Amino acid sequence: MSLSRISKIFQLLKEGVDKGVFSSAVSGVSQAGRRYIVACGYLSLTPFVEPVEDYHVYDLASLTKPLAGALILIDKLSEGKPVELFSSVKPYLPLDVPFFRLLNHTAGFKPWIPLYKHKPLTLEKAVELILREELAYEPGASSVYSDLGYFLLTYLLERMFGKNFENLFEEARSKVSFSRRARLMFKPLEKGVDVEDIAPTSYSEEEKVLLRGVVEDENTRALSGVSAVAGLFGNIYGVLDLLEALLLSYKRSGPFSQDVVKTFVEFEDKASDFALGFMKVSKNGKSAFGDRFSRKAFGHLGFTGTSFVVDPEKELIVALLTNRVHPDRNNIAIREFRPVFHNLIAELFAPNRP
């Protein structure tokens, strides 16, 4: 049965490679203490063709939002630190919106602005530029997926806890028992990861270089590669280790508070399809995540072609790492591939939908 499952996953990933959805993919499934890892394709297409291996590291893009931004808050709240999620951020910023609205994309911000054009860019300057922008809608009246709230979150976390964002992430990360092969970090080239072990992303016209080991997101790149928006790099082992820790915590036997984790992944707001840092998979189900997961499932997507789903009811975790932006970030074929992939995993590992 396991061989049949792996064969079917490989077949679908190969189809993605053959159709040009991505040059490479590594998928991972975790259920009942067993893992199923499948790698397919070529890590890079230019300047050399390199086969992918299961240990290769990918730019996780917006998976950084839940796996670093939200994780830091989960960690601090689990430690008993006083964080008022439902109070205004006004003590730290000239902005009168509840903290949680930054996390679930209901704070009124437009999706994105080119912060990177201001050089040099500091986090303080980024915050200033964001706060100059007029709100796109009344906070709480709607939901617009926005990086801007997560840049503010980066600043807030540093102000609240008196440490830089990367150090706060490392503190949260230290609570998780990572396996020997796991990689999950910011700025991998500075941490000794070989550039040849990192999947390249797109070619930067501005910098005239193929990005490899450097974050794809321009705004985060201008902030030295670290933010709650993007910048996290990891391999399938690192991602699965962290997701397993979150699922164990949800079930009351992990490193973080069960109540805190449930608050973040189950939070409901009629204005948004997001919980706190995580997507509600059932609300997004007929698009990116397919339609085979339970109402309790949570996950996220990343611009570079990454995604994950954790389904507590099925006790199922799935992660997909690709570099669909290599060498051209305008390739959007991943949009059609993702629901097919997620549905296949759900059908293979948990066929009876609740």
Q: Tens of pLDDT along 311-351?
A: 999 999 999 999 999 988 999 999 999 999 999 999 999 88
Claim to verify: residue 181 and residue 162 sit in the same structural domain: no
- Domain boundary (116, 147, 167) is at 167
Domains contained in the chain, number: 2
Q: Cα–Cα distance between 6 and 243 in angstroms, integer?
A: 20
Tell me the residue range of the domain where 159 lies. 69-167
Q: Is residue 354 part of a domain?
A: no
Partnered with residue 309 across adjacent β-strands are: 299, 318
Claim to verify: residue 252 and residue 298 sit in the same structural domain: yes
Claim to verify: residue 36 and residue 102 sit in the same structural domain: no
Q: Report pLDDT for 353.
A: 53
Q: What are phi and psi of 3, to 5 degrees?
A: -65, -40
Claim to verify: residue 311 and residue 330 sit in the same structural domain: yes
- Domain boundary (141, 167, 193) is at 167
- Domain boundary (146, 167, 188) is at 167
Q: Is residue 195 part of a domain?
A: yes
Q: What are phi and psi of 223, to 5 degrees?
A: -100, 30
Claim to verify: residue 211 and residue 287 sit in the same structural domain: yes
Residue from 137, 301, 132, 311 nearest 230 by CA: 301
What tens digit of pLDDT does each residue of 231-269 get?
999 999 999 999 999 999 999 999 999 999 999 999 999
Q: Is residue 131 part of a domain?
A: yes
Claim to verify: residue 330 and residue 227 sit in the same structural domain: yes
Across 266-294, average pLDDT: 87
pTM: 0.97
Claim to verify: residue 151 and residue 218 sit in the same structural domain: no
CATH of the domain at 299: 3.40.710.10
